[in-house]
Amino acid sequence: MAATVGTSLDRSLIESIDAALSALGTSTRDSILLYLRKRYSISLEETPQRMDEFLQALHALLGYGARVIEKLVIARLVETNEIPLAEARGRNLAELVTFKQGRNKARQTV
């Protein structure tokens, strides 16, 4: 089951997650993605639509280290101007994605 990337936020989020996991090294990144796919049926492309499940799986695998990955993802989203720094402060990744997706939906209906 392949998910399609729907928005620029989805694409930026996927790229940011990939970059954060790559900071651990290519083989570690590949191992984490394989684990997520085999154990939780979550592919990298599905993470924007399944953010809560992705983060729970990441926490199950990495423990507190998952929070470091979250911070790296958030930092990259801020760096690429996908999310303003003021919005990122005090929020975790799931909150940011939910907040941003909600704002994008509100803009589309206006």
Query: Which pair of structure tokens corresponds to residue 76?
Result: 């990259």
Domains of the chain (ranges; CATH) run: 8-109 (1.10.1200.200)
pLDDT at 106 over 80: no
- Using CA atoms, how far apart are residues 62 and 49, in angstroms rounded to an integer? 21
pLDDT in tens, 59-104: 999 999 999 999 999 999 999 998 999 999 999 999 998 887 766 6
Kindly report the average pLDDT of the chain as a whole number: 87
The pLDDT of residue 5: 46
The answer to whether residues 28 and 21 touch, using CB atoms and an 8 Å cutoff, is: yes
The answer to whether residues 57 and 106 touch, using CB atoms and an 8 Å cutoff, is: no
Query: Which pair of structure tokens corresponds to residue 52?
Result: 């809560």
CA angle, corner 30, sides to 24 and 33, nearest 5? 100
